Amino acid sequence: MGTAPASRDVTSYGMGLAAPLALFFLFFFVAPLVQLFWLSLHNDTAGLHWGLGQYIHFLTDPFSLSVLGSTLLLGAEVTAVCLVLGFPIAWLYQRVGPRLQTIIILIVLLPLLTSVVVRTFAWIVILGRQGIINATLQSLGIIDTPLKLLYTQFGVVIALAQVQMPLMILPLITALGRIDSNLDDASCSLGAGSWRTFFRVVLPLSLPGVIAGCTLTYAAAITAFITQSLVGGGQMLFMPMYLYQQASTLQNWPFASAISIIFLLAVLAVVSVFTTLGRLSRGYGGA
């Protein structure tokens, strides 16, 4: 049985090896972030007057707050869909033969091998008024008038869930693969049925994977600018597009900067909730 301290020691040497990456981050991540923060502390577009006006504006403006809220909600919905659909696939992966495993991995990874723009347009073709779903349902006589699928919250969630699915499934596969298969058998021989075994043994022991998957999916879903904008269309506004409009179209850089800082903090808050949960559940991982 692996013990945690042995792997912890790895961080105690070789910090110098991380220097190139650290420099890279310093120049291309930390510096722009500092500049962004500096810019957000100005009350006018020209950046001459210091003040917290941009933040006050955002936090007192119902429209801005609703954009933030719907973005965080979108992330939660996409994450939930990925978890509910992804878990059975990861579970199945651990129970089939090697040939089926290859096929499952291929299908799961396929979205990563195509451009996000192409994938998103594919969803437009599928969800549109004359799209594949509506055409099929109409020709089967199930519906008379086309359903509105594109440019809806439902459409965005489904398209994003498909795009982010690998981020959920891969950590789940790893976590499920680490569970000793004898535990299933032990549970069963002690009289537990498959559902009890799942909820009392498999699910708790896969929690580290669930949390890793949720963190990745969530972070990716709320920042997915292209899919959000193309499938969501003009009616729905999420933080990335809001930010883009303020910066590019309206040239209001201080406000755009404040939006990014607030968005960043909101995302960090959600992610740190996930990681705290992860740390609590890590206690289970020593299987």
Which residue in 265, 82, 223 sits closest to 162, CA to CA?
Answer: 82
- Least distance from another protein to the Cβ atom of residue 197, Å: 9
- Beta-strand runs (E) in 7-122: none
Q: Stretches 72-80, 101-109, 147-155, 181-189: which one binds another protein (CB under 8 A)? A: 181-189
Q: Using an 8 Å Cβ cutoff, are 262 and 68 in contact? A: yes
Q: Using an 8 Å Cβ cutoff, are 219 and 82 in contact? A: no
Nearer to another protein, 160 or 179 (CB): 179
Cα three-residue angle 84-104-188, rounded to 5 degrees: 60
- Least distance from another protein to the Cβ atom of residue 26, Å: 40
Judged by DSSP in three states, 42 sits in strand
- Least distance from another protein to the Cβ atom of residue 212, Å: 17
Which residue in 279, 167, 150 sits closest to 223, CA to CA?
Answer: 167
Residue 187 near another protein by CB under 8 A: yes
Residue 282 near another protein by CB under 8 A: no
Among 51, 69, 88, 204, which residue interacts with another protein (rule: CB under 8 A)? Answer: 204
Q: Please, what's the largest Cα pairwise distance for the chain?
A: 73
- Least distance from another protein to the Cβ atom of residue 218, Å: 24
Residue 69 near another protein by CB under 8 A: no
Cα 116 from Cα 121, distance rounded (Å)? 9
Nearer to another protein, 66 or 181 (CB): 181
Residue 116 near another protein by CB under 8 A: no
Where along the sequence are the contacts to another protein (CB under 8 A)? Answer: 1, 180, 182-183, 185-193, 196, 200-201, 204-205, 283-287
